[in-house]
């Protein structure tokens, strides 16, 4: 039986030309850098899920503004059968307080210069989504 896609959020925080990224501890994408995020809990809005996941993984507080893009992540097993289907909703968040400290399922958390982001081993689409978020008007509000 196919359980269907799993909805999750990415908390995308851009501050002073830097993106807040975490290095994932667990599959999928263990060891790769990406945005803080995770599954949306039953009854939780996209914005509240992004704020919660950001706080749990980094200790950073932010105000979630709006969803601005969505990504499909399809994970296949060695035989090519579909194992997981995630729908990741990127939520633009404005930093309020705190500096990143890895927690929950993150190995590391830090600010990364947008012009150096591709120097890191990244999860798929991270650099593109970071640039897209940096171009949004809300990310420049302080």
Largest CA distance in the chain: 49
Residue 121 lies in a domain: yes
Q: Is residue 1 part of a domain?
A: no
Q: Over its length of 142 residues, how does the chain's per-residue pLDDT go in tens digits?
A: 567 899 999 999 999 999 999 999 987 789 999 999 999 999 999 999 999 999 999 999 999 999 999 999 998 889 999 988 999 999 999 999 999 999 978 899 999 999 999 999 999 999 999 999 999 986 554 4
Backbone angles phi, psi at 134, to 5 degrees: -65, -25
Q: Kindly state whether residue 98 falls inside one of the protein's structural domains.
A: yes
> How high is the pLDDT of residue 1?
56
Q: Is 52 part of any domain?
A: yes
DSSP string covering 103-140, please?
-TTEEEEEEEEGGGGGGS-B-TTHHHHHHHHHTSGGGG
Question: Token pair for residue 39?
Answer: 């599954």
Assigned domain for 15 exists: yes
Query: How many domains does the chain contain in total?
Result: 1
Report d(CA 60, CA 93) in Å as an integer. 11
Residue 45 forms part of a structural domain? yes
CATH number of the domain to which 32 belongs: 3.90.79.10
Give the structural domain span for 81. Answer: 6-140
């Amino acid at each position: 039986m196919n359980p269907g896609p799993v909805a999750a959020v990415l908390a995308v925080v851009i501050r002073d030309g830097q993106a807040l990224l975490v290095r994932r501890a667990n599959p999928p994408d263990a060891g790769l850098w990406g945005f803080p995020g995770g599954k949306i809990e039953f009854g939780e809005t996209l914005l509240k899920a992004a704020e919660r996941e950001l706080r749990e993984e980094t200790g950073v507080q932010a105000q979630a503004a709006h969803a601005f893009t969505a990504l499909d992540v399809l994970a296949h097993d060695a035989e090519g059968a579909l194992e997981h289907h995630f729908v990741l909703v990127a939520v633009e968040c404005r930093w309020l307080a705190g500096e990143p400290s890895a927690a929950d399922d993150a190995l590391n958390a830090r600010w990364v210069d947008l012009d150096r982001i591709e120097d890191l081993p990244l999860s798929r689409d991270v650099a593109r989504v970071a640039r897209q978020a940096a171009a949004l008007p809300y990310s420049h509000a302080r």
